Structure 1
Amino acid sequence: MAKCSAIIQNKLPPKLKDPGIFSIPCVIGDISFEHALCDLGASVSLIPLSVCKKLDVGESKPTNISLQLADQSIKCSVGILEDVPIKVGQLFILTNFVVLEMEEDSQVPTLHGRPFLATAGAVIDVKHGKLVFNVGDEKIEFNLSNLMKSPSLENSCCRVDLIDHCVKQCSLGPL
């Protein structure tokens, strides 16, 4: 009854448009990235092998991590870069990157997943278009409406999950 009453009295908030993806400017090693994708749906942070080779942040360590991508394909990682300092504004945030042999996206070359966002103390206010990173006593705020304008992943579905069941396949290689 309460639902019907709210609808009849027009007390429901107006529906808002999908704001799209959001990305942040950052510096990794000596390279500046205009659009590093932030993705709450990703369980890890990703970097293509080609980008990893350009960075001066050390060698990746071998690992048996397998990832299931949004298209349901499974990719085995090349390695992992641990404790990589990411400069966002004046803040430095450490993260681990899973390194994949994949095509480099010139517009969105890196993906920062939930562990990065948690470490950054990210507070995302989609309705008001704000992203705030809280690290220690320092804070940096982004206006998401500016960050989400480009690049657009229209008609795309993005998801990355860590999986265990194909680790043996990756470590054995082709039969």
Structure 2
Amino acid sequence: MLKQIQNCSAVVSRTIAEKLSDPGSFTIPCTIGSYAFANALCDLGASINLMPLSIYKKLCIRKARPTSMLLQLADRTVKRPSGILDDVLVQVGKFVFPVDFVILDCKVDEEIPIILGRPFLATGRALIDCETGELKMRLNNEEITLNVQKSMRRPSEFANCSLLDTVDVIMEEDDEALMQKTL
């Protein structure tokens, strides 16, 4: 009994972190070529960077390479991308990062036209502080700080609760099996 009291006392005497609410998702401004995007979604749940086909066509960038990749979207539909566009130069502040985009024929969300996933955030050596709403991106010995507090989208208290999955990349080996299931 004495040991249990000592353990409880040790827990109570430690500083406990303040519990914070969900800060929501966040967006950043970026530029690709001559097109400025005010709200590119930064998505830690996405293993790819995603660009809608219509935006790809507007950018008039070189031809995308073909892919046999299949994507399973959050609504469980399976889509084949139009291609992959390698080494697209994306400017964020004073930094320029090479980004590989998966091109998908899908409806463009006018508020959030492109998705920058974990590969982009890793390339930019991103540090995210959810409490202060700051995103730091680093290149060599320099860094920029973006205030993403205003862009953070908090879920409504009254929103319906439903299961949402991130975009999953399905491996080529499963290609034929999956196509048979969807037919």
TM range (shorter): 0.7 to 0.9
1:160 aligns with 2:167: yes
2:149 aligns to what SS in structure 1? helix
1:20-77 deviations in whole A, cap 9, x for unaligned? 1111000012111010001111010001101110113212111111112222222111
5 Å-filtered alignment, 1:84-163, equals 84-149=88-153, 155=159, 157=164, 159-163=166-170
* Residue 29 to residue 58, structure 1, CA distance change in 2 (3 Å): same
Question: CA deviation digits over 1:86-109, x for unaligned, max 9?
Answer: 010111001100011111100000
Give deviations 1:98-122, integer Å, cap 9, x for gaps: 0111111000000011111111111
Alpha carbons of structure 1 residues 126 and 55: separation in structure 2 relative to 1, 3 Å = same
Q: Is the 8 A contact 1:29 1:56 kept in 2?
A: no
Structure 2 residue runs without a partner (length 5+): none
Structure 1 stretch displaced more, 23-32 or 63-72: 63-72
Q: Hey, what does 2:72 align to over in structure 1?
A: 68
TM-score, normalised relative to structure 2: 0.82
Report sequence identity in percent. 41
Paired residue total: 172
5+ residue gaps in structure 1?
none
TM-score normalised to the size of structure 1? 0.85
User: How far apart are the structure 2 equivalents of 1:104 and 1:76?
Assistant: 17
CA distance in 1, matches of 2:55, 2:177: 26
Q: Is the 8 A contact 1:64 1:170 kept in 2?
A: no
